[in-house]
Amino acid sequence: MKTMTLDDLLKNPLTENNKNIALEKSKEIWIKQIQENPNIKYFGAVENGKVVSTCYCVIIPNLTNFCQPICFVENVVTDKNYRNQGLGKKVIYKAIETAKKAFDMRI
């Protein structure tokens, strides 16, 4: 499991929807909205240099529940050739553990 970079995500699109996405648009979004935001993290499982499963988490400040932030885990995707091996669960757990440590969250 590792924290993903833009290069990791662009080298190995896991869904058909992402194969034709404009490279420059992806870079612009990553640089302006994701890279510098400490509340957004991407995680992935890599096998033999290939990204085979990913997810991201977003930490959102919260005024309820004793002002504890909320963590949303989204876009869990696993390469069709690597499904049913628990990789999706592993990237989700990595996201949750990172959120717990970074934001002293209870999950």
Q: Read off φ and ψ for residue 89, nearest 5 degrees.
A: -60, -40
Confidence of residue 21 (pLDDT cuts 50, 70, 90): low
User: What's this model's pTM, rounded to 2 decimal places?
Assistant: 0.77
Average pLDDT over residues 68-93: 92
Average pLDDT over residues 51-68: 88
Residue 89 has pLDDT above 90, yes or no: yes
Q: What count of Cα atoms within 13 Å lies in the side-chain half-sphere of residue 24?
A: 0
What average pLDDT is seen over the chain? 84
Calpha distance 60→94 (Å, rounded): 18
Calpha distance 76→80 (Å, rounded): 12
